[in-house]
Structure 1
């Protein structure tokens, strides 16, 4: 779909958008980290950074909609857990502990991401950070129990915070100013 020139606005210097993202993402992730630390769990995981970026930098994109973020991460969690079980890795040490991936872990990781992407397409819920969620689970880094619950809580909080922060007056990017994003 071609946009008319009348709908485009001048995004201004790139550093303005960069500073906006710096402040908003740092705030959101600091809150998540402090709350997680307050309850004694790790809530900041690698899936949160890309999720915060997508929701804050491109709030109008389909992948940034609450429906897409929630469905995509839910699909990734289900796929990750199913692959852990299917490949007999439920209690297997994580790749962080063994410093290598077994053939079963590689298979579980590849299948979990592939099925997650299939589900994102079928559900029409494009949210690329969900692939990181599937990998975190199948690698054993975010294993079932406290690590998984922490990631779930962190994801929930970053999704809510990002949705709120993206609506703060002056914090939302102008329509048509999206640079190289979804």
Structure 2
């Protein structure tokens, strides 16, 4: 018997903390993808895209990480979009074919990818908005998988916002910040 058990000072584990990580993380990541996809289906909008998978993974597996927070998620993806767009237009890569559909990596697309990832990392660092999945978003733009236009920015950011809101709520539940903190204080 431990000292905590003998003295009655052992902390009770509340529901989220009692669920093993091996159950919680896949369940939450899957639910986040399902939520974004379902809302997108209902709205007839493609609000789910590849970079959201790593974002959901990060929020579910490492909820205490600064990179998993709402601010980092939203600002990180916004920076990734901006850096990707800036690199594409600055280097004229918008005239080159999309890499994944053409299976042709051109110099402008390569250099746009290099510049976009570097800018995303630099801006994320400067704004304290590091979010590694944003590097995937910036590459989707730089390599031509996402069209460099305002409609694409809106589509991506709606998906990011849906995931960021729900993901941050579940992240906070997991680490005991909400709603349990108010009840315990």
Q: Same fold (TM over 0.5)?
A: yes
- Matched residues, number: 159
C-alpha distance in structure 2 between counterparts of 1:112 and 1:39, whole Å: 30
Residue 30 (1) aligns with residue 34 (2): yes
C-alpha distance in structure 1 between counterparts of 2:166 and 2:52, whole Å: 11
TM-score normalised to the size of structure 2? 0.77
Asked which structure has the greater CA Rg, the reply is 2
Residue 124 (1) aligns with residue 128 (2): yes
Q: Pairwise mapping of residues 1-182 of structure 1 onto structure 2 (< 5 A)?
A: 16-145=20-149, 146-168=151-173, 172-173=174-175
Aligned residues of 2:96 and 2:108 also touching (Cα < 8 A): no
In the TM superposition, what is the alpha-carbon distance from 1:154 to its structure 2 partner? 1.2
RMSD: 2.2
Aligned residues of 1:67 and 1:125 also touching (Cα < 8 A): yes
Aligned residues of 2:64 and 2:175 also touching (Cα < 8 A): no
Q: Secondary structure at the match of 1:166?
A: helix
C-alpha distance in structure 2 between counterparts of 1:92 and 1:156, whole Å: 30
Aligned residues of 2:84 and 2:116 also touching (Cα < 8 A): yes
Question: Which runs of no fewer than 5 residues in structure 2 stay unpaired?
Answer: 1-18, 178-185
Question: Which runs of no fewer than 5 residues in structure 1 stay unpaired?
Answer: 1-14, 176-182
Provide, for residues 70-118 of structure 1, a one-character-per-residue CA deviation record: whole Å limited to 9, x for no partner. 2211211111111111121335431122112111000001110011111
C-alpha distance in structure 2 between counterparts of 1:80 and 1:157, whole Å: 22
Q: Which has the higher contact order (CA 8 A, sep 6+)?
A: 1
Aligned residues of 1:41 and 1:147 also touching (Cα < 8 A): no
C-alpha distance in structure 2 between counterparts of 1:76 and 1:52, whole Å: 17
C-alpha distance in structure 1 between counterparts of 2:175 and 2:146, whole Å: 33
